Amino acid sequence: MSQEFHEKALNYHRGSRPGKIQVSSHKSINTHQGLSLAYTPGVAAPVREILKNPNTVNEYTIKGNLVAVVTDGSAVLGLGNAGPLAAKPVMEGKAVLFKRFADIDVFDIELDTQDVDEIVQTIKNIAPTFGGINLEDISAPRCFEIEQRLIDELDIPVFHDDQHGTAIIVAAGLLNAMEIQGKTADKVKVVCAGGGSAGIATLNLIAELGVKRENILLVDRNGVVSKDKKKKVNKYKAAFAVDTKKETLGDAMNGADVFIGVARGDLVTQEMVKSMSEKPIIFALSNPDPEISPVDAFSCRNDLLMATGRSDYPNQVNNVLGFPYIFRGALDANSKEINTEMKIAAVHALKDLAKLPVPNSVLQAYQIDSLSYGRDYIIPKPFDPRLIDIVPKAIFEAAVSSGVSCLT
């Protein structure tokens, strides 16, 4: 980040009114009657109705459109364990995106604890306020336990976006990339660098979509996760331990069809890229510096297809394509959870949208003359207005058909 942009970002957040979000009323309170309806005595009417039938709470309150964005600040962007206060700008930013893209209201919650039991209990205690819980920037492997316990114990959707948001967008792009590059899920050889939340969730999801686990090599900071090292890693990594003699990232990438990087910048060399199979696929997703830059990758291979996490290169893997619309569909369906069926529905909705003609409004937003499905366009753009119509509908239908919708 340049110093000029740094100062511009600080001024943006400071402004005449600090922060990015506010609480406002959408009901009129300009008269005596308006005040009486909003609070006493009028507020007693919905209280009585909810007492008689708790299921009516969404009819009379914001609950059905309200998501908690919750963090402990332990894994903030690329800054690591920044704590709750430094995490707050990110959570406010998440709230802005929920509202802008899916008209979902958000309270950001920054917890001053990193104890798993305390986090779970705190979220359970505040859950009646919300229609859904979005976990954010919580470090692995604690994030896996926190999410699963909350899914098991709450009757509203719980979704760790760093895991599943990333996984869904990667999977949608990967399905299209494999089609373009002439590869199939059941035969493709995948290398994933990074055994944290995004890496593990992505591998689990692409396995659901047909990639064989025996064709996946997970590489962490200690090298390839093999069966020989199974006892030295957590159970989430151990699930991807395979019988192999390969030890390093370079070993793993030799002959691989797909590389997925959710680790750190400048991790992959040109020699590693050269050693991959014909028509390789590279998703170098670390920000701000990818595992290998597109410039370096394309300078040694002209047959590859590449995606990054950056907006200044083609095929940006951006979670804003997922979480607002996934929650929109889940809330509209009054879903108890966001299950695998709903995640797969999101994958296919995004995958298929990229193949449709791109509307002029998208071209204008990105100041480009043309854009069509191919090696430089495998994932929809965030400002595609069709996302709000297509993705929530797919989520809604999957929630209903899989039996987790509570609509009557």
């593990």: which residue's tokens? 200
Report yes or no: 263 and 78 within 8 Å, Cβ to Cβ: no
**What is the spatial distance between Cα 200 and Cα 356, in angstroms, rounded to a whole number?**
30
At residue 127, the 3 state secondary structure works out as helix
Please identify which of the residues 63, 88, 94, 183 carries the catalytic annotation.
Answer: 94
**Beta-carbon count within 10 A of 296 CB:** 15
* Among 132, 249, 254, 131, CA closest to 199: 249
Which residue, 242, 292, 245, is CA-closest to 271? 292
DSSP state of 226: B
Q: Omega of the bond prior to 382 within 30 degrees of 0, cis?
A: no
Q: Alpha carbon of 353 to those of 15, 173, 237, 393: distances in Å?
A: 37, 11, 32, 13
Dihedral of alpha carbons 29, 30, 32, 33, sign = negative
Is 60 one of the catalytic residues? no
CB 66 within 8 A of CB 131: yes
Candidates 8, 12, 20, 39; catalytic one: 39
Q: Is 235 a catalytic residue?
A: no
Nearest-angstrom CA–CA distance, 319 and 339: 18
3-state secondary structure 252-284: HHCCCCEEEECCCCCCCCHHHHHCCCCCCEEEE
Q: What is the rounded distance in angstroms from the CA atom of residue 107 to the CA atom of residue 335?
A: 20
Among all residues, which ones are annotated catalytic? Answer: 39, 94
